[in-house]
Each structure stands twice: as structure tokens, then as C-alpha cells.
Amino acid sequence: MTKILVTGAAGFIGFHLSQSLLNRGDTVIGLDNLNDYYDVFLKEDRLTQLKNKSNFSFHKLDLADRQGIAQLFDQQKFDVVVNLAAQAGVRYSLQNPHAYVDSNLVGFVNILEGCRHSQVKHLVFGSSSSVYGANTKIPFSVGDNVDHPVSLYAASKKANELMAHTYSHLYGLPTTGLRFFTVYGSWGRPDMAYFKFTKAILAGQPIDVYNYGKMQRDFTYIDDIVEGIIRVIDKLPQANESDSTSTKAPYKIYNIGNNQPVELMHFIQVLEDCLGIKAEKNLLPMQPGDVPMTYADVDDLVKNVGFRPSTSIEVGLEKFIAWYTSYYKT
């Protein structure tokens, strides 16, 4: 039985991951500060589901609370840590940059220090496709240069990868960073486009479509993300993995994406079909910090953990809508 700390357990990905880990019999300690970046009731409802399981316990704690995090690591002796607590969102990083520094930089150092001092066996952490910035070479590969982020959010994720590598190198802490590509699904995030679109369409309100709908995203269904994370948890990075992203440190980066970019306008069309309602669209230019395309090369994931995300948007969106309409009783 493995004892796993999941930070951001009340968040979208952390909640789904915790559920799967609990179902396979792991002991999960969830951590979250339940901040109000989006609807706190949704976070609490996710937690209520997790608290039904006897192998789950929860700590309401901020990653930036240095003493609190150090104490938790001292007391608990985790085998594995999955860090999914972060200030997410690209556009919000233009409005509130300090939130990204507090949670993603200060908070991440506290996690690294906790892992180092309590000899955690594997730290897995959430990075993002946004580290690829406005790269035009597709698909995006983990060996590509990612030195030109176009938002502070992306910069904070790239910083996490650098910080993790340092701890792997200096202290032999095994770390794996996962670059997630636009994740969607049940119990999703209300700040994300697909969620806002659904809400607006059902309310008969117009939707804001950026870059005139010509953006392409490698939309990845939540179940595929969770499957990828779990396989990676069980695969310790090796000190001598000879690819361009690793040195002699036990450190590894993977893309987890659907490997099949979809144009935003097509995504909206599938959403309209699922809902049986045509959307009224406000066609708008691209927003600062946004990128025109994301597209994951997942060869490493396939090679090392034998998994390729494959849920189509037709299947994934139908599941999302089924959850949305039942949760909000629309």
C-alpha cells in the first residue's frame, strides 16, 4: 500500500486522480487551500466525494505556508507526492501575477524541500503545454526549446521544471514533470472555455470565441490524463535516461496530450451537437498570452509507460455534458 500526497485534491485533476488512487487501494492524503479563484462549492463537492472513502484524509493548507508544509512532511512520511495544486490559467496571470509567484514558485520550493528532507521516493508534478509558448514546430516534443514563454503562468511552469531538475541533480530526488494539454471533462474547471461555453449556450447567451475560432488545441479527456499520471507514478525516472531532457539526474518530462489537435470552431460544433442548441458567437481576436496551437508528441509516454491518450472530443464532450446537466440540474 502506497501513501500518496495529492496537492490540489479539491481541484479538477487532483480530485479525479485521488479517486482513482483510492479505488486501487492507495492511501491518499489530500491537500488544498480551497481558494476562490473559481466556485468554492464545486471544490467542496469534489472533496465530499473523496471523504466518503476510509483511505482518504484531508488537510486544508496553503503550499506557500512554509512551516505548515514542513510539519506535514515531517509527520506523514509520504512515499509519493503528486503536486497538482497551483494557480492555473493563462489569462488570469496577466491580472494577478503575484498569485502565480506565491503558489507556483514559493509553494513549489516548499514541496521540493519537504520531499528532500523526508526522502520521498517520487515527486510527480503538473507542468503545462503552455511552456511551448508560441513554438511553431509541431508536434511539440519534450526535446524542443522552451525558453520563450508568453505568459507568467507558462514561465512559472517552466521554472518548476528547472527547480525539480536541480533537486534531482543535487539530492537524487526522483522527479517527473507532466506537461498537460487542455484538459476537459466532468467536475471540470469553470474558468475554462468549454465550461463557460456550455453555461452560456444553455442560458441562451452569446459565447466569446477568440482568434475567430481558428485556434487549435490538443483537447485531452480527464480519464486519459489520470491514466497517464498513474502510470508515471509507478515509473521512477532513471538517472541515466539518455534523451535530450535528462542529465544524470533522476528527472523526466512527459507530454500528456491527445496527439490530435482540434480547431476551436469544430470543438464548439461538437458541443452544440451534444447540447442540441446552436450557439450565438462573438468572434474576437486572439488574447494576450494565448497561443494559436498546441499539439503533443507523446512518443516518450508510449515508449516508457505504454500509454497513448485517445478519447475523441465526441465521446469526451458527451460525458462532460451528461455530468454538467445532472450536477447543475439543467
Ligand X SMILES: NC(=O)c1ccc[n+]([C@@H]2O[C@H](COP(=O)([O-])OP(=O)(O)OC[C@H]3O[C@@H](n4cnc5c(N)ncnc54)[C@H](O)[C@@H]3O)[C@@H](O)[C@H]2O)c1
Calpha distance 257→301 (Å, rounded): 10
153 has catalytic annotation? yes
| 18, 27, 110, 128: residue in contact with ligand X (rule CB under 6 A) | 128
The three cell numbers of residue 68 are 505548515
- Which CB, 122 or 189, lies closer to ligand X? 189
Element (H, E) at 112: helix 107-117
Tally of helices (H runs) and strands (E runs) in the chain: 12, 13
The number of beta carbons lying within 10 Å of the beta carbon of residue 109 is 16
- 218 part of the interface to ligand X, by CB under 6 A: no
What number of chain residues touch ligand X (CB under 6 A)? 27
Three-state secondary structure call for residue 15:
helix
Cβ atoms of 128 and 177 closer than 8 Å:
no
- Which CB, 64 or 155, lies closer to ligand X? 64
Span of 80-88, 140-148, 239-247, 300-308 interacting with ligand X by CB under 6 A = 80-88
> Minimum distance from CB of 239 to ligand X (Å)?
26
Looking at 132, 153, 254, 324, which residue is catalytic?
A: 153
What is the contact mask toward ligand X in residues 185 to 214, using x (rule: CB under 6 A)? ----x-------------------------
The three cell numbers of residue 304 are 516508457
- 245 part of the interface to ligand X, by CB under 6 A: no
> Minimum distance from CB of 43 to ligand X (Å)?
5
| 107, 139, 177, 309: residue in contact with ligand X (rule CB under 6 A) | 107
- Which CB, 62 or 227, lies closer to ligand X? 62
139: preceding bond cis by omega (within 30 degrees): yes
The number of beta carbons lying within 10 Å of the beta carbon of residue 62 is 19
Calpha distance 308→326 (Å, rounded): 30
In the bound state, the residue with its beta carbon closest to ligand X is 11
Element (H, E) at 113: helix 107-117
- Which CB, 33 or 216, lies closer to ligand X? 33
Catalytic residue IDs: 153
Q: Residue numbers of the site for ligand X (CB under 6 A)? A: 8, 10-14, 32-35, 43, 62-64, 84-88, 103, 107, 126, 128, 180, 182-183, 189
